[in-house]
Amino acid sequence: MSCTGDELNVTIACGGTGGHLFPGLAVAEQLAQRGAKVSLMISAKEVDQVAARTVRDMSVVTLPAVGLTRNHLLPFVRGFIQSYRAASAWLSQHRPQAALAMGGFTSAPPILAAKRFKAATFLHESNSIPGRANRWLSWIVDQGFVGYPTAAPRLHNRCVTVTGTPVRSKFAPRDPAVCRATLGFNPHRPMALVMGGSQGAHGINELVARSLPLFAARWADWQWFHLAGAEDLDPLRRAYAGAGLTAFVHPFFVDMELAMGGAAACISRAGASSLAEIAAMGLPSVLVPYPAATDDHQFHNARALCDSGAARMLDQRSAQPENLVAVFGPLMSDQSERERMREALLKWHTPQAAEEIARAIVEAVEKRAHRPVTFSARRGKPPTDERVLRGLEMAEFGERNGV
């Protein structure tokens, strides 16, 4: 079987956060280059919808929200069932040969629906400690891919490959002066970047805002590009103006390769997708892991880089403005230290990740055309989609009726 554009149809479930969406887009890019028809299944969140407007030559399907939080089982069950049915309706018309989950519970219903139509199924886990959705999906998919070696033994699947985290091809080192000029900055003055992930980070925003007078007192010539999210936008703009600093503060920014390319160094969360882009750009960073992340996975992501000299880290729970200035100021000012960090970041850059995943999907589809895949390689007996949905519907009935 040769997988031409007429024969290979792949669905990628990658919605919910930029950490799921952008690696999924990187794999989609590689599959499209091989002539595949790609459909992206995303959420209704603004980050997904804004990014989807940049997608070309791919189908984009918005599914109902699926988010599992404590004491909110009923909305989760309802959303899961609605998402499964919406995914099934789409897939019944387009019949994919393969489906890839990029993490989060938004990706689970499309994978169950794809199995209903006998598609080969895959997942990718970016973080060093897998999320709950991927741990559950790992029982039923045919193959897994992980960004960190430490994630592999935590998945319930014997067919797991360490690929690194996919990064879109546009994330590569650039001329900083050109990037700054393109963004509207003075190309000859240093630029600091603050990014809290695709939706901003209140903890980082607050810490930086309190630190600005100290930065301004010592480094008034710095320019700041701050990805703030929507809620902290106006207070941050006032904080930068009050400190007399040149700053562009955005709620969300599509062309992050320009912001990262123009920065001398950055302050960032430690989501796996952000770290993969930081490594691809060779961007020296101070990482502030999200303290409430599931299983504290951002801390473990950040520690892996810091232990190799590829980044520095601050604990948000104890960090004060003086701590941030003491760590970030010298990094912005010391070119030799930034060069050492860039050298260490090379270890974490996996430019082949998206290509490797795309190639594995194509090869698996070709193999299935001659020999159906069985469950023999997996640990334990995976649940069927019928059992899962029946259980969810029973949970919904029970919560609604107080059972």
Q: What share of the chain is helix, strand, coil (3-state, %, to 5)?
A: 50, 15, 35
Beta bridge partners of 116: none
H/E segment holding residue 205: helix 202-218
Give the 3-state secondary structure of residue 35. Answer: coil
The rounded distance, in Å, linking the Cα atoms of 137 and 326 is 43
Query: Quick one: which of 245, 239, 187 has its CA closest to 220?
Result: 245
pLDDT tens by residue, 198-254: 667 899 999 999 999 999 999 999 999 999 988 899 999 999 999 999 999 999 888
Query: Quick one: which of 97, 90, 324 has its CA closest to 205?
Result: 324
The two three-digit tokens of residue 77, written as one number: 């069950």
* Residue where the block lists tokens 């795309």: 358
The rounded distance, in Å, linking the Cα atoms of 98 and 118 is 9
Q: Which domains does the chain have, with CATH numbers?
A: 9-167+351-401 (3.40.50.2000), 176-348 (3.40.50.2000)
CA angle 54, 55, 59 (to 5 degrees): 145
Question: 157: burial class by Cβ within 10 Å (0-12, 13-18, 19+)?
Answer: buried
The rounded distance, in Å, linking the Cα atoms of 356 and 177 is 33
Question: Do 10 and 43 meet the contact criterion of CB atoms below 8 Å apart?
Answer: no
Q: CA 358 from chain center: how many Å?
A: 17
The two three-digit tokens of residue 143, written as one number: 């193959």
pLDDT of residue 384: 53
pLDDT of residue 70: 63
Distances (CA, A) of 35 to 6, 14, 92, 144: 8, 20, 21, 23
Give just the sign of the alpha carbon dihedral 357, 358, 364, 365.
Answer: positive
The two three-digit tokens of residue 353, written as one number: 């990740």
* Residue where the block lists tokens 């969140």: 45
Query: Quick one: which of 186, 159, 181 has its CA closest to 246?
Result: 186
In this structure, which amino acid lies at residue 32?
A
Question: Do 55 and 27 meet the contact criterion of CB atoms below 8 Å apart?
Answer: no
pLDDT < 70 stretches in the chain: 1-6, 66-72, 198-199, 371-403
In this structure, which amino acid lies at residue 38?
V
The rounded distance, in Å, linking the Cα atoms of 17 and 319 is 26
| DSSP result, 286-318 | EE---TTSGGGHHHHHHHHHHHTTS-EE--TTT
- How many CB atoms within 10 Å of residue 212? 21
Question: 340: burial class by Cβ within 10 Å (0-12, 13-18, 19+)?
Answer: middle
pLDDT tens by residue, 248-302: 999 988 899 999 999 999 999 999 999 999 999 999 999 999 998 878 899 999 9
pLDDT of residue 387: 54
CA angle 161, 349, 223 (to 5 degrees): 145
Question: Do 140 and 111 meet the contact criterion of CB atoms below 8 Å apart?
Answer: yes
Beta bridge partners of 13: 41, 101
